[in-house]
Structure 1
């Protein structure tokens, strides 16, 4: 019995010794005049504009920034060129672990999480230098929040979560609200978000959920998305026309563009289940049918930007509709653009469309913020609580709740240039509200930079 107890004590002491030896170094606040910040994005850095804006703002005020995330697309040029910003790329998980099958997801999901835990820990605890702050994008929550919490505890780093949405509400889209993994995700998210210094969130409505349902003690600071400086209106019609005439996706419709019988519609999508793209397709089919009988209605060039898992499926559906002659008055093109070209496209288009349906009801689509930054009026899905925090109906945009309502909005605005111009004026006014104006008094003050 004594030998057994000695053996257990030896194993425990050996494990403790190894743990101490493997502890990551801690941040020494006396080493730098300005605080250093790690930014964790368990996603594509290039498609995480808000986190890139955080990095640029921190660097602008003299802070050192390390961004940890996937490099699937090019980050903002200013992020790449800034000497105060360093990017540590995450290694992608094996492709075999990616699936849309519900049964396989329950098997591959945990394996994917284990892979991410190991690589996240390596990057956060050892590859990245110690920092005063760690700013984490949420979602995804698993395994980000747990790994970040432990790393911050060991390194004496202050953790801040930037809530874009809730991880469990997105998981529920795939598995259903009553699935055991969804219930586990709710518990996980509510548990591992408590060891923080502060919380940022994209809407006031989300802040109320965090306060009332999550019972958080740390400060909850709503930080509404605002456009960066590269999104700005183009008020000169000639400049807009020059860009569109040189835009490759307009080649087949330039005669209509020159004649003034074409309107350019832009929608940016991640091609995921929380954006039902079939709504826009059905609306364009309905519009084409009505425009064929009403010559005063202009043709539409619909430019769809973005990447995502459902893109191929929808492109095949669009191709079938074109072959069937159901899109005679509509041309659909897809594009993946650089940040400057995307900004110019928004500023040159006639109307923006948002299909974001919100899994939680309290998040908002960043794409609408970018559209307003470019002075582009918007029509968007408005059947969720936080919509009114972003769009003022009839002033800078209009809402819809079905494909038929979207068709009505397109006819209303493209059939009456005065109504469309009224919304454009409202969007241009909204464009004056900028990221720095929102960020400096909230996050800048929190981090000790302003």
Structure 2
């Protein structure tokens, strides 16, 4: 009752636009996470703005954003206040910090959605995280006459099960909550795969609101390298590659790239073990592996890498971690020989955005493949290769990084460029522009 009373006191300037208004379409886009590490939601904002819509992009503003956001007069980034450091520490048990963090998020979300950001025709919410995002978004959408759209990237409860264990009491609570919210909250649902769309219609989700599938597609910033001179110039400029640029350009050293948020759904020990196996096979070419990104397990894996190097288990192999700007990351992908993806889908029906970006840059991939939706993106022996074990990945590396594998790698690169040729703008204009009432 108290929350409803507070909403009743909303100033009139926050009321939605009157029916028949000719003002531009307005959209709130909510990310309960770092906006800079949510490329799909940034792309949504850019697409709405390109069509003349007004966007309030809401989330934690912790890292650099896509350059098109900074250049758009139609997008306003509204930063959420992050939880206090005491709620983000691991020194206190999750049973204590978890509920307190949720309460903090409830307060900041209500303040932002109901008071700081003007009312909009549409509220587009990233899921996960689902707690407390979906409940607050539903409440705001009802009281402000806003159409709620959920963009399902994955399921929050399956991610929680992966970090806390399937028997943790919060996992079942999260599952029930997410299923109920999916049934009652949205006007429209968006999914990243057709497999997820089909699953949402079944038990235990039983979503009845309309569902559309919008596959991730690369943004314009990801593109194949145009000429060898362009590749050389970048490799000679980037600190991580400048000392070996000549060796990479000659084909003597192979450049591998992976990106990660350093979370438990990506087991990088599998990649490290594959590189150890590659070294043991006395493979033909040395490797430089660059792993980009930030996240909670980065220090853990950096220690593993250091230990393997100290033990002499990685001869002729360099492994570097890096944090790059969007522009440099896109250029690095276009200059690499092979992309590596360790994404292990907690739900079995999501897809890794990083592979989409790699294809946009014309980079073939070796990707973990043991989940149902894998084939919606990676076509075996057309644009990449799948693996489930470190020995299978090592065999792929030996084959593709050898002189005899040059023709296969070239064929996979052609396939990657073909898959990446369908761009985000084309897919978004076809699927979502009509939904939001924007001209395609």
Superposition deviation, residue 138 in structure 1: 0.3
Tell me the equivalent position of 2:315: 328
Superposition deviation, residue 182 in structure 1: 0.7
Q: Which runs of at least 4 in structure 1 moved beyond 4 Å after TM superposition?
A: 14-19
Q: Does 1:250 align with 2:238?
A: no
Tell me the equivalent position of 1:90: 80
Distance (whole Å) between structure 2 residues aligned to residue 50 and residue 19 of structure 1: 30
Tell me the equivalent position of 2:263: 272
Q: Does 1:377 align with 2:364?
A: yes
Contact conserved, 2:258 with 2:292, CA < 8 A, in 1? yes
Q: Does 1:197 align with 2:184?
A: no
Distance (whole Å) between structure 1 residues aligned to residue 268 and residue 18 of structure 2: 48
Superposition deviation, residue 114 in structure 1: 0.3
Distance (whole Å) between structure 2 residues aligned to residue 258 and residue 385 of structure 1: 37
Tell me the equivalent position of 1:216: 207
Ranges in structure 1 where 5+ consecutive residues have no aligned partner: 1-11
Superposition deviation, residue 17 in structure 1: 6.3
Q: SS at 1:126's partner residue? A: helix
Q: Does 1:142 align with 2:131?
A: yes
Matches within 5 A, 1:252-331: 252-254=243-245, 256-257=247-248, 259-291=250-282, 294=283, 297-331=284-318
Partner of residue 239 from structure 1, selected from 216, 230, 237: 230
Q: Which whole-Å deviations, capped at 9, do the CAs of 1:358-395 have from their partners, x for residues lacking one?
A: 00000000000000000000000000000000000000
Q: Which whole-Å deviations, capped at 9, do the CAs of 1:45-79 have from their partners, x for residues lacking one?
A: 11111001100110111100000000110111110
Matches within 5 A, 1:115-154: 115-154=104-143
Distance (whole Å) between structure 2 residues aligned to residue 305 and residue 261 of structure 1: 23
Distance (whole Å) between structure 2 residues aligned to residue 323 and residue 15 of structure 1: 58
Change (3 A) 1:424 1:181: same
Let me know the Cα RMSD of the aligned residues.
1.7
Tell me the equivalent position of 1:155: 144
Superposition deviation, residue 245 in structure 1: 2.0
Tell me the equivalent position of 1:413: 400
Q: Which whole-Å deviations, capped at 9, do the CAs of 1:17-53 have from their partners, x for residues lacking one?
A: 6663257832124554321000000011111110011
Change (3 A) 1:159 1:329: same
Partner of residue 38 from structure 2, selected from 40, 43, 48: 48
Superposition deviation, residue 239 in structure 1: 1.9
Distance (whole Å) between structure 1 residues aligned to residue 124 and residue 162 of structure 2: 26
Change (3 A) 1:60 1:15: closer
Change (3 A) 1:440 1:29: farther
Contact conserved, 2:308 with 2:314, CA < 8 A, in 1? yes
Q: SS at 2:375's partner residue? A: helix
Distance (whole Å) between structure 1 residues aligned to residue 249 and residue 210 of structure 2: 54
Tell me the equivalent position of 2:59: 69
Partner of residue 426 from structure 2, selected from 428, 432, 437: 437
Normalising by structure 2, report the TM-score.
0.95
Q: Which whole-Å deviations, capped at 9, do the CAs of 1:135-155 have from their partners, x for residues lacking one?
A: 000000000001100011100
Change (3 A) 1:358 1:111: same
Distance (whole Å) between structure 2 residues aligned to residue 259 and residue 59 of structure 1: 43
Distance (whole Å) between structure 2 residues aligned to residue 100 and residue 385 of structure 1: 33
Superposition deviation, residue 252 in structure 1: 4.0
Tell me the equivalent position of 1:171: 160
Ranges in structure 2 where 5+ consecutive residues have no aligned partner: none
Distance (whole Å) between structure 2 residues aligned to residue 305 and residue 438 of structure 1: 27
Q: SS at 2:189's partner residue? A: strand
Contact conserved, 2:10 with 2:115, CA < 8 A, in 1? no
Specify which structure has the higher proportion of helix.
1
Query: Which stretch of the first structure deviates more once superposed, 25-34 or 134-143?
Result: 25-34
Higher gyration radius (CA): 1
Contact conserved, 2:7 with 2:143, CA < 8 A, in 1? no
Change (3 A) 1:15 1:134: closer
Contact conserved, 1:29 with 1:132, CA < 8 A, in 2? no
Tell me the equivalent position of 1:21: 9
Distance (whole Å) between structure 1 residues aligned to residue 253 and residue 157 of structure 2: 42
Normalising by structure 1, report the TM-score.
0.93
Q: SS at 1:379's partner residue? A: strand
Contact conserved, 1:362 with 1:384, CA < 8 A, in 2? yes
